[in-house]
Amino acid sequence: MLLACAGPPTAEPAVSGLEQLMDPKTCAECHSTQYAEWSGSMHAYASVDPLFVALNRQAQDEARVGNFCAHCHAPLAVKTGSTSDGTNLASLPERLQGVTCYACHNVSQITSTHNESVRLANDSVMRGSLSDALANDTHQSAYSPLHDRSRLESSLLCGSCHDVVNGHGIAIERSFAEWQASAFSGENGESCAQCHMAESPERGPIADVPGAPERERHSHQFPGVDLALTPFPRRAEQRAAVQSFLDTALQTALCVRGTGNDAKLVVIVANAAAGHQWPSGAAQDRRAWFEVAAFRGDRELYRSGAVASESDPDPARDRDLWLVSDCMLDESGNAISKMWAAKRIDSNLLPGQLTFDTSSPLFYQTHVMRAFPKDPLANLASYPERATLDVHLQPFPLRSFDELFADPERLGQDTESVAELRQKLVPLNVGEQLVWTPEAAADAEHGGLAYVDQGVPMSCVTTTGMNAAADKFAATEHASAACLTP
pLDDT in tens, the chain (486 residues): 333 333 444 444 444 478 999 999 999 999 999 999 999 999 999 999 999 999 999 999 999 999 999 999 999 999 999 999 999 999 999 999 999 999 999 999 999 999 899 999 999 999 999 999 988 888 999 999 999 999 999 999 999 999 999 999 999 999 999 999 999 999 999 999 999 999 998 899 999 999 899 999 999 999 999 999 999 999 999 999 999 999 999 999 999 999 999 999 999 999 999 999 999 999 999 999 999 999 999 999 999 999 998 899 999 999 999 999 999 999 999 999 999 999 999 999 999 999 999 999 999 999 999 999 999 999 999 999 999 999 999 999 999 999 999 887 787 666 568 888 999 999 999 999 999 999 999 999 999 999 999 999 999 999 999 999 999 999 999 999 999 876
Q: Are residues 291 and 414 in the same domain?
A: yes
User: What is the pLDDT, as a whole number, of residue 4?
Assistant: 37
d(CA 34, CA 298): 52
In b/e form, how buried is each residue of 157-191, taking b as 16+ CB within 10 angstroms? bbbbbbbbbbeeebbbbbbbbbbbebbbbeeebbb
Q: Are residues 273 and 215 in the same domain?
A: no
Give the domain-ending residue among 197, 228, 259. Answer: 228
Q: Are residues 218 and 344 in the same domain?
A: no
Say what the pTM is.
0.93
Query: Which amino acid, residue 166?
Result: N
User: What is the pLDDT, as a whole number, of residue 137?
Assistant: 85
Find out whether 343 and 330 touch, Cβ atoms under 8 Å: yes
Q: Are residues 220 and 269 in the same domain?
A: no
Q: Considering the domain boundaries, does residue 238 fall inside one?
A: no
Q: Considering the domain boundaries, does residue 445 fall inside one?
A: yes
User: What is the pLDDT, as a whole number, of residue 17?
Assistant: 74
Q: Are residues 451 and 384 in the same domain?
A: yes
Q: Considering the domain boundaries, does residue 131 fall inside one?
A: yes
User: What is the pLDDT, as a whole number, of residue 184?
Assistant: 97
Find out whether 334 and 482 touch, Cβ atoms under 8 Å: yes
Query: Which amino acid, residue 322?
Result: W
Number of domains in the chain: 2
Q: Considering the domain boundaries, does residue 72 fall inside one?
A: no
Q: Are residues 369 and 419 in the same domain?
A: yes
Q: Are residues 315 and 408 in the same domain?
A: yes
Q: Are residues 252 and 224 in the same domain?
A: no
User: What is the pLDDT, as a whole number, of residue 131?
Assistant: 93
Q: Are residues 121 and 254 in the same domain?
A: no
User: What is the pLDDT, as a whole number, of residue 8?
Assistant: 46
Q: How far is CA 261 from CA 72, 320, 384, in A?
A: 55, 19, 9
Q: Are residues 336 and 460 in the same domain?
A: yes
User: What is the pLDDT, as a whole number, of residue 413?
Assistant: 60
Q: Are residues 269 and 204 in the same domain?
A: no
d(CA 186, CA 406): 46
Find out whether 268 and 472 touch, Cβ atoms under 8 Å: yes
Range of the domain at 27: 18-46+99-228
Q: Are residues 216 and 266 in the same domain?
A: no
Q: Considering the domain boundaries, does residue 197 fall inside one?
A: yes
